[in-house]
């Protein structure tokens, strides 16, 4: 079983996070970034202090890489940075060219791709929960490809806690590339905590087309607190330990800290892209049904998001 993250990494998905990871890693390590389309072999990144960086990155369309039979070296790790609903199809397209023990690192939101891919893939599957903030600005003559709005922390572990040495090695390489990363043994808890935050902020901001901070306004408070109370009961039933400050304070803290952000779901809605509502709300809706919990606010959000 591989336990190091040496060698060349393949990053799949040229969204904000995929480009941020690729640009950061490419300055020190061999990396190839795959996206839907052919693209210039460089990423124009605006850093958190406003600095403009142009970083050389090897890039290819995913389909071209998958079809290449010329025997280019297989990657030692694949970072899946697609949207949650595209992750399994991306892996299936690449699988014939990957060694069956190739480790994966999943960067998806929610809790859909993580259990499904952990079950399907033959090699180790690491999951990440990150607070790195990055977005793709609207295209323009001087627009960067990606804006790294704020640095954060990336937690890495696998759902069965079987690959801590590998998680440590991957976190180490990310740290060397300037992405602060910490291996952990409780990634499921961390993913569910992030899911709770996203389940409140993303659908409400996307539905009402408001920035995250609007959810602190009196008009939204009754809905936010009712939703948090439902999520708290689901988490208890699922035996997900609460955050030390409590669920309401956790979620209000993120609303405040990201007040001027457009949530990723609002960005998807505004850009007419499919949203991640299934990956974010689906696991909570299913858990509430499993435990026979009455969750009217969650059900209403689910209906609005799926409709």
Q: Which of 24, 82, 102, 198 binds ligand KPL (CB under 6 A)?
A: 198
Q: Which is nearer to ligand KPL, 16 or 234 (CB)?
A: 16
Query: Is 263 near ligand KPL (CB under 6 A)?
Result: yes
Which is closer to ligand KPL, CB of 100 or CB of 260? 260
Give the three-state DSSP class for 260.
Answer: coil
Contact region with ligand KPL (CB under 6 A), list: 155-163, 231-239, 253-261, 291-299: 253-261
Nearer to ligand KPL, 151 or 176 (CB): 151
Q: How many whole angstroms separate alpha carbon 132 and alpha carbon 220?
A: 26
Report in angstroms the alpha-carbon separations of 151 from 47, 49, 159, 179, 215: 9, 10, 25, 8, 23
* Least gap, CB of 209 to ligand KPL (angstroms): 14
194 is catalytic: yes
| Calpha distance 173→255 (Å, rounded) | 31
Q: Comparing C-alpha atoms, which of 173, 140, 152 is closest to residue 44? A: 140
Alpha-carbon gap, residue 258 to 185, rounded angstroms: 27
Measured in residues, the chain has a length of: 307
End-to-end CA distance of the chain: 44
Least Å distance, CB 239 to ligand KPL, is: 24
- Least separation in angstroms between residue 201's CB and ligand KPL is 4
Q: Cα dist. 19→16, 42, 108, 173 in Å?
A: 5, 10, 14, 17
User: Based on CB atoms, which residue is closest to ligand KPL, 7 or 48?
Assistant: 48
Contact region with ligand KPL (CB under 6 A), list: 12-20, 157-165, 167-175, 254-262 = 254-262
Task: Show the binding pattern over residues 55-94: x = contacts ligand KPL (CB under 6 A), - = does not.
Answer: ----------------------------------------
* In the complex, minimum distance from the CB of residue 264 to ligand KPL, in angstroms, rounded to a whole number: 3
Determine, following the binding rule CB under 6 A, whether residue 264 of this chain makes contact with ligand KPL: yes
Q: Do the beta carbons of residue 234 and residue 291 sit within 8 Å?
A: yes
Binder among 11, 234, 254, 305 for ligand KPL (CB under 6 A): 254
Q: Is 201 in the site for ligand KPL (CB under 6 A)?
A: yes
β-pairing, 77-80 with 9-12? Answer: parallel
Question: Which of 194, 234, 254, 258 is flagged as catalytic?
Answer: 194
The alpha carbon of residue 118 and the mean position of all alpha carbons in its chain are separated, in whole angstroms, by 16
| Dihedral class, residue 239 (left if φ above 0, else alpha if ψ from -120 to 50, else beta) | left
What is the DSSP-derived secondary structure letter of residue 194? H
# residues near ligand KPL by CB under 6 A:
11
- Residues in region 206-225 near ligand KPL by CB under 6 A: 212
CA-CA distances (angstroms) from residue 31 to 18, 19, 68?
11, 11, 17
Q: Is 293 helix (H, G, I), strand (E, B) or coil?
A: coil
- List residues with catalytic annotation: 194
Residues forming the site for ligand KPL (CB under 6 A):
109, 197-198, 201-202, 212, 254, 258, 261, 263-264
């Amino acid at each position: 079983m591989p336990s190091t993250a040496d060698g060349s990494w393949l990053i799949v998905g040229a969204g904000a996070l995929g480009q941020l990871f690729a640009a950061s890693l490419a300055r020190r390590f061999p990396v190839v970034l795959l996206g839907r389309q052919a693209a210039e072999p460089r990423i124009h990144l605006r850093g958190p202090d406003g600095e403009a960086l142009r970083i050389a990155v090897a890039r290819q369309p995913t389909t071209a890489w998958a079809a290449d039979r010329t025997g280019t070296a297989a990657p030692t790790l694949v970072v899946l940075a697609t949207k949650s609903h595209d992750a399994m199809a991306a892996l299936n397209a690449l699988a014939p060219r990957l060694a069956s023990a190739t480790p994966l690192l999943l960067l998806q939101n929610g809790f859909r791709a993580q259990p499904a891919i952990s079950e399907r893939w033959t090699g180790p599957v690491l999951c990440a929960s990150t607070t790195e903030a990055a977005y793709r600005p609207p295209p323009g003559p001087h627009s960067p490809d990606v804006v790294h709005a704020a640095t954060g922390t990336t937690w890495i572990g696998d759902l069965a806690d079987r690959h801590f040495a590998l998680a440590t090695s991957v976190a180490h390489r990310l740290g060397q590339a300037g992405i602060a990363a910490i291996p952990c043994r409780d990634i499921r808890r961390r993913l569910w905590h992030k899911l709770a935050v996203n389940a409140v902020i993303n659908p409400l901001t996307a539905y009402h087309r408001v920035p995250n901070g609007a959810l602190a306004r009196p008009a939204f408070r009754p809905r936010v607190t009712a939703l948090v109370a439902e999520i708290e009961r689901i988490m208890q039933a699922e035996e997900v330990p609460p955050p030390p400050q409590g669920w309401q304070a956790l979620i209000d803290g993120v609303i405040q800290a990201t007040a001027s952000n457009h949530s990723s779901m609002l960005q998807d809605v505004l850009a007419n892209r499919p949203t991640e509502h299934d990956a974010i709300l689906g696991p909570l809706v299913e858990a509430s049904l499993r435990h026979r919990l009455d969750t009217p606010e969650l059900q209403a959000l689910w209906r609005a998001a799926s409709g």
